[in-house]
Amino acid sequence: MKESEYREQALKILPWVCARCAREFAGARLRELTVHHKDGDHHHNPPDGSNWELLCIYCHENEHARIEDAKAGGGGEEAQAAPATHKPLAALADLLKRKGKT
């Protein structure tokens, strides 16, 4: 199925709303709504639309960028900070003992 065919089919069976940002599209703005293949396979186009979701051009670009980042090892996860080794209150007990003696 060609892109124009599955897009036409998706627009017939899916609501004209971006599945990510929930913006609604109609009229001339409908061209900003794109078909995203959930499994990434552009040849997998079941007629019931189960592999499609409509995304606006901005969310679609973001989705593909996230996938590419994950492939490159970015994973979208923040780097874990090393545990702190400095113990600013480690000598407090000794200081309090000394203060109590004076």
Q: Which CATH number is associated with domain 3-71?
A: 3.40.1800
Split at pLDDT 50, 70, 90, the class of 26 is very high
**pLDDT value of position 80:** 60
The mean pLDDT value for 43-56 works out to: 93
Question: Is 17:29 a contact under the CB 8 Å cutoff?
Answer: no
Say what the pLDDT of residue 25 is.
94
Domain ranges of the chain: 3-71
Task: Please write down the HEC assignment for all residues of the chain.
Answer: CCHHHHHHHHHHHCCCECCCCCCECCHHHHHHEEEEECCCCCCCCCCCCCCEEEEEHHHHHHHHHHHHHHHCCCCCCCCCCCCCCCCCCCCHHHHHHHHHHC
pLDDT band at 56 (very low <50, low <70, confident <90, very high): very high
Q: What is the amino acid identity at position 5?
A: E
